[in-house]
Structure 1
Amino acid sequence: MTVTEPEPARSLAPTPPLAARARTVGGSPVRDILAVTARPEVINFAGGLPAPELFDAEGIAAAYRTVLAETPARALQYSTTEGEPALRAALAARTAARGLPTAPDDLLVTTGSQQALSLLATALLEPGDTVLVERPCYLAALQAFGLAGARVVAVPGDGDGLDPDALDALVARERPKLLYTVPTFQNPTGRTLPAARRAAVARVAARRGLWIVEDDPYGELRYDGERVPWIATHPGAEDRTVLLGSFSKVMAPGLRLGWLRAPAGPRRACAVAKQAADLHTPTVNQLAAARYLADNDLDAHVRRVAGVYGERRDAMLAGLPAALPDGSTWTRPEGGMFLWVRLPDGNDTTALLPRVVERDVAYVPGAPFFAGEPDPATLRLCFVTQTPQEIAEGLRRLGAGLRD
């Protein structure tokens, strides 16, 4: 019997490297903080999590039961990339009722509005293209544009949001492809861009040639004041604005249902990009949402949620003066989920966070929300997830941690 000698050990060639964008774009600090602070004793002001006790779980469950009982074959089958007709019709009607004439074919249903951002980055941006954003900016948008290889530049602004004159100068100098903005109850600051500035932004886009991506996940969560019309409704913006919407904050984030309203060119390009990403958003979720809208008054549900969230915002605003060092400032949002704090000069909220977490409370440092030079003294607080009593205790712990 012949014995075969084993082959001598050979060194293996290394595998090819990851794509440069995967190596250079970091993960989400919010997700990282949530993982570290998942202990039940932690009062977590870090996440942008809707209050689960306010979900209409029974209404949503009933919608699923009805869909699966009446149209199981359709609900469990593949669907069109653009989205279920019944859901798009309902979304178009809701959009038109808020002052923006919309047909079902103007809409593309997405797997959360975050996917809409990713699709737009794929459809509109080449590596090296310039994108303008607010200062500070929604963190996941910075990730999406970074993964697309875009150069991201912040537009100067103030307590009311971006400055249209500064935007005009930047567009002339930088030749950007698009402006991304959350003009209503912005994440992370909670501020709302006034109507006059929205009209001015529309004029800049029309005069200079610029796409506007108007992200509106929080706009229905208003506690004070009057609704401000979308940028997309202003003259000059009609043919160059992509409006994003979501059920995550008003129905339930686990449904992963968002949508974009866009002119035909970018909408078709996003549909092609979606085909490559996931073919379509889950059919059963879309049909259940359409059934929920048919059988329930979503606006009444949102009003109930907004009433509770408004009390929680007030509880946080009431407790901040005692919790924060003298000289701190913060926003007073009329709605949404967040407020923005700036500690006195010399503070670094990233360095302070571990001390605060030791007190079983958490926030998000502000630095990751900036394109370009960050402001290390800033932080974001979410006020909707906890009760007023929990907010008061969390702020007590926060104050103790900041004083340590």
Structure 2
Amino acid sequence: MNFILNKYFIHLSEGEIPKYLLIEKHIKRLIDTNMVEDRERLPSIRKLAQFLNVNNITVINAYKKLQAEGYAIQKIGSGTYAKKKDIHKNFNREYSKALKRIFNEEIVDYVDFTGETPSGEFFQIDFFKNVLNEVLDRDGAKALICQESLGYEGLRSSISSVFWNKKVDKEDILIISGAQQGIDLVSKAILNINDSVIVEKPTYSGALSVFKWRRTEIFEVPIEKDGINMDKFEKILRKNNIRCFYTMSYFQNPTGVSCSNYKKIQILKLAQIYDFYIIEDDYLSELIYDNSIRYNSFKSLDNNDRVVYIKSFSKIFLPGIRIGYLIPPKRFKESIQNSKINTDISTSSIMQRALDLYIRKGLWKNYIETLNCAYKKRYIHMEKCILKYLRDKVEFLKPGGGLHFYLKIKENIKLNSVNIFRQGKDRGILITPGLLFYKNALEGKNYFKISFSHTNEEEIEYGVKILSEIIK
């Protein structure tokens, strides 16, 4: 019998935490990690009390706590049985609350693998401060109070000339407050209730939230190493009246996959044939480390005005500067612009003017070059650490750019990504479980994302090593 009870053994030294809570926490962990199976009978109160050298009341209180938290059920006359909690239900809320609490405290105590934006350590704040002062000296009060519905004309001109070589007219560019607002504006202008959209599987959780809020029917198409599965994509198009396809063309969040030129051209042809529009979220395309990857957006290849192009400066510049831009098809230009005006009238005037001057002075180009150099080193180091510590525990595709890796837990590992998140959090390591990126959260339980944007090489090595200890 002691052999069966061995897994329930726990050191119960005297301390501030009551013994029943220590026992309850230990059994919860056994259930979460499948050491105790769902519906498995727990030891009787008397036998567990004798084995742990505590009184019966201590075990009774531990079992009551397990029942209250949904980890056990009692069958009268039969005993107490383990109950596997639905780890996926309401996990988004648990994840958000946990990160909010941690970030409100001292994040320095954690290795943060959850970051999705560049670290402020590479941003040359003095240069930007000088740009702000120059804008105020040049424009005075206008910099603070002047509002233009499409956005500051100077910034739209800079975007047109610097990023699009004037192939896009400044009048077709709408300044927005980041990619999330762009997705929301497009959905309000283009999508009606019960319209159908296709998303990549997995995809950005913020986009899923917007489409669910609009009460659209969401179809998912699996991602392969060079973009979505085209056969499954066209099968959905043939059977359904699709309004939009949402895609992240470079270093997709979360998979890190970039869509090949071949598939982009095929998707654009299908958009014309099946009469749908492509919402292109151009995510982190500035951070390319693999020379074999060439930049060609859907928008640059579009000959039939089928692409809504969304670009956020917040992702690559500074998260606190909520600026991005959107280029709509002419058919939806007015409705998207009206949607923006009805939402917030205008994005920060002074920040638009400062960003415009920052770009014109060539500081943007220098900043991106600095980021590429710094993050390529971290990218290479994280890949080495994954291969060194997690080779026999996970599988992954090399993204060739961006700020993260997406890891699949191998089938022989009993832990899922929620277990890893919870145990990692207890040991000062923060990851992003894959559940957040799927319409059906259960499909993401064996995946997790780790980013190197807010971690140096020493922290990367330490964090990946701890993850290796957790994933046994």
Give the Cα separation in 2 of the matches to 1:28 and 1:189: 22
Q: Which residue of 147, 162, 173 maps to 1:79?
A: 147
Q: Does 1:95 align with 2:160?
A: no
Cα shift readout 1:106-134 (whole Å, capped 9, x = no counterpart): 11000112111110111111111111000
Asked whether the equivalents of residues 368 and 374 of structure 1 are also in contact (C-alpha less than 8 Å), the reply is no
More deviation, 64-73/369-378: 369-378
- Say if 1:32 and 1:218 are closer, same or farther in 2 by CA, change over 3 A: farther
Give the Cα separation in 1 of the matches to 2:256 and 2:280: 15
Asked whether the equivalents of residues 67 and 287 of structure 1 are also in contact (C-alpha less than 8 Å), the reply is yes
Q: Which residue of 300, 308, 331 maps to 1:265?
A: 331
Give the Cα separation in 2 of the matches to 1:337 and 1:28: 24
Match of 1:399 in 2: 468
Cα shift readout 1:166-219 (whole Å, capped 9, x = no counterpart): 212111212111000001111111111111111111111111101001111311
Give the Cα separation in 2 of the matches to 1:344 and 1:148: 36
Give the Cα separation in 2 of the matches to 1:228 and 1:47: 24
Asked whether the equivalents of residues 33 and 364 of structure 1 are also in contact (C-alpha less than 8 Å), the reply is no
Q: Does 1:47 align with 2:128?
A: no
1:27 deviates by: 5.9
Max radius of gyration: which structure? Answer: 2
1:62 deviates by: 1.3
1:69 deviates by: 1.7
Partner amino acid for 2:102? Answer: T
Match of 2:83 in 1: none
Match of 1:221 in 2: 287
Partner amino acid for 1:355? Answer: Q
Asked whether the equivalents of residues 433 and 444 of structure 2 are also in contact (C-alpha less than 8 Å), the reply is no
Cα shift readout 1:228-248 (whole Å, capped 9, x = no counterpart): 311122255x41101111212
1:388 deviates by: 0.9
Give the Cα separation in 2 of the matches to 1:250 and 1:239: 27
Match of 1:181 in 2: 247
1:153 deviates by: 1.2
Give the Cα separation in 2 of the matches to 1:109 and 1:26: 34
1:332 deviates by: 1.0
1:387 deviates by: 0.9
Mapping for residues 142-153 of structure 1, pairs under 5 Å: 142-153=208-219
Give the Cα separation in 2 of the matches to 1:33 and 1:46: 12
Q: Which residue of 124, 131, 136 maps to 2:202?
A: 136
Q: Does 1:278 align with 2:344?
A: yes
1:29 deviates by: 6.9
| Superposition CA RMSD, Å | 2.0
- SS of 1:76's equivalent in the other structure is helix
Partner amino acid for 2:421? Answer: L
Partner amino acid for 1:129? Answer: D
Q: Does 1:253 align with 2:319?
A: yes
1:374 deviates by: 1.7
Match of 1:34 in 2: 99
- Say if 1:25 and 1:36 are closer, same or farther in 2 by CA, change over 3 A: closer
Partner amino acid for 1:365? Answer: P
Structure 1 gaps of 5+ residues are 1-23
Asked whether the equivalents of residues 305 and 330 of structure 2 are also in contact (C-alpha less than 8 Å), the reply is no
Pairs aligned (count) = 377
Structure 2 gaps of 5+ residues are 1-88
- SS of 1:212's equivalent in the other structure is strand
1:36 deviates by: 4.0
Give the Cα separation in 2 of the matches to 1:196 and 1:344: 31
- SS of 1:127's equivalent in the other structure is coil
TM-score norm. by structure 1 comes to 0.88
Give the Cα separation in 2 of the matches to 1:44 and 1:258: 25
Match of 2:178 in 1: 112
Asked whether the equivalents of residues 116 and 315 of structure 2 are also in contact (C-alpha less than 8 Å), the reply is no
Asked whether the equivalents of residues 217 and 248 of structure 1 are also in contact (C-alpha less than 8 Å), the reply is no
Partner amino acid for 1:65? Answer: N
Match of 1:193 in 2: 259
- Say if 1:80 and 1:308 are closer, same or farther in 2 by CA, change over 3 A: same
Give the Cα separation in 1 of the matches to 2:162 and 2:362: 14
1:78 deviates by: 3.8
Match of 1:233 in 2: 300
Match of 1:359 in 2: 427
More deviation, 147-156/302-311: 147-156
Match of 1:390 in 2: 459
1:26 deviates by: 9.0
Give the Cα separation in 1 of the matches to 2:196 and 2:424: 37
Asked whether the equivalents of residues 325 and 344 of structure 1 are also in contact (C-alpha less than 8 Å), the reply is no
Partner amino acid for 1:384? Answer: S
- SS of 1:280's equivalent in the other structure is coil
- SS of 1:180's equivalent in the other structure is strand
- Say if 1:33 and 1:185 are closer, same or farther in 2 by CA, change over 3 A: farther
More deviation, 146-155/118-127: 146-155
TM-score norm. by structure 2 comes to 0.76
- SS of 1:149's equivalent in the other structure is coil
More deviation, 321-330/267-276: 321-330
Partner amino acid for 1:274? Answer: K
Give the Cα separation in 1 of the matches to 2:171 and 2:360: 19
Asked whether the equivalents of residues 383 and 391 of structure 1 are also in contact (C-alpha less than 8 Å), the reply is yes
> Which has the larger share of helix?
2
Asked whether the equivalents of residues 341 and 379 of structure 1 are also in contact (C-alpha less than 8 Å), the reply is yes
Cα shift readout 1:137-192 (whole Å, capped 9, x = no counterpart): 01111111112121211113322220223212111212111000001111111111
Match of 2:380 in 1: 314
- SS of 2:337's equivalent in the other structure is helix
1:49 deviates by: 3.0
Give the Cα separation in 1 of the matches to 2:429 and 2:97: 15
Partner amino acid for 1:289? Answer: L
1:328 deviates by: 1.6
